[in-house]
Amino acid sequence: MIKVGLVGFGKAGQAVAQVLQEDPRYELCWIARRSAASTAPTPPGIDVPLVALATPDDWGQWLDSHPVDALVDFSRPESLHLYGEQLRRRGLMLVSAISAYSDADLDYAHTLAREARVLCSPNITVGINFLILAARLLRKIAPFADVEIVEQHFREKPEVSGTARKIAQTIDVDEDHITSLRLGGIVGHHEVIFGFPYQTVRLIHNSIERRAFGTGAAFALAELARCENGFYTFDDLLMRMVRKELLSKQP
């Protein structure tokens, strides 16, 4: 069983903690957050220690007394620099879902990957990553098809979805082809429509709730555990599986 420490216990972290705690492949050992003074209620069923780790020394002492095999990070970009050297020294696996790393943060993560297995993914759901992979393949197969991207989110979301922009960039479609709809409380809907002459293909992903981030982190941990030290994206992990699957079908 892989022993896991979760970093961050906000909206996403709380949902991820529930999933990791229920997954028999993992032992969620503790959860680190920024401040012990945080008063967010602990969701029902979460029964591991919550700790505030504010400095690299705090991290060193905590990991000495509470060792784990892997960190799953749903906190803020700066956390990486607090636990980074401890992660390197101990060769811990890292699944980081932080969406807002700077180039300097990512450079640092790459240096950690010389001594550890490091995954950074600004999109951590299995479904969206699969949709992107499938759209990329179909674009290669049918470069002549018209492509439109539709994204739908809750009324208050002001900006065009970062995921929709990532899809457009990955399949080399201009962002003018993204249509954004803002309706009620939709959590997240992404659709890529391929218009062929005599048929239409629609790739659709709907987010239902934040626990999908936990499912993605759990998938990434399981795959990362099979990898060598190095830096990985979610796409890298999916492609490894696809390659293995295709090769196993060859005569």
The catalytic site residues sit at 153, 157
Figure out which of the listed residues 26, 62, 194, 213 binds ligand NAP, where binding follows CB under 6 A: 213
Q: What is d(CA 205, CA 195) in angstroms, rounded to the nearest whole number?
A: 18
Mask: binding to ligand NAP, 169-208, rule CB under 6 A, as x and -?
----------------------------------------
> Going by C-beta distance under 8 Å and a sequence separation of 6 or more, which residues neighbour residue 211?
15, 16, 18, 19
Q: Which is nearer to ligand NAP, 19 or 32 (CB)?
A: 32
> Going by C-beta distance under 8 Å and a sequence separation of 6 or more, which residues neighbour residue 35?
52, 54
Name residues contacting ligand NAP, limited to 27-46 (CB under 6 A).
Answer: 32-35, 38, 40
The H or E element that residue 64 is part of is helix 56-65
Q: What is d(CA 14, CA 31) in angstroms, rounded to the nearest whole number?
A: 10
The structure tokens listed for 234 are 């979610």
Residue 148, SS3? Answer: strand
Contact flag: residue 87 with ligand NAP (CB under 6 A): no
> Going by C-beta distance under 8 Å and a sequence separation of 6 or more, which residues neighbour residue 188?
151, 152, 153, 161, 163, 205, 206, 207
Beta carbons within 10 angstroms of residue 9's beta carbon? 22
Q: Which stretch binds ligand NAP (CB under 6 A): 85-93, 97-105, 177-185, 219-227?
A: 97-105
How far apart are CB 73 and ligand NAP at their closest, in Å? 8
How far apart are CB 117 and ligand NAP at their closest, in Å? 18
Among the listed residues 99, 97, 104, the one whose alpha carbon sits nearest the alpha carbon of residue 7: 97
Q: Which is nearer to ligand NAP, 23 or 216 (CB)?
A: 216
Q: Which stretch binds ligand NAP (CB under 6 A): 74-82, 150-158, 172-180, 240-248?
A: 74-82
Contact flag: residue 164 with ligand NAP (CB under 6 A): no
Figure out which of the listed residues 3, 76, 90, 139 binds ligand NAP, where binding follows CB under 6 A: 76
Across-strand partners of 203? Answer: 192
Contact flag: residue 90 with ligand NAP (CB under 6 A): no
Q: What is d(CA 151, CA 7) in angstroms, rounded to the nearest whole number?
A: 30
Contact flag: residue 4 with ligand NAP (CB under 6 A): no
Residues that bind ligand NAP (CB under 6 A): 7-13, 32-35, 38, 40, 74-76, 78-79, 82, 97-100, 121-124, 213
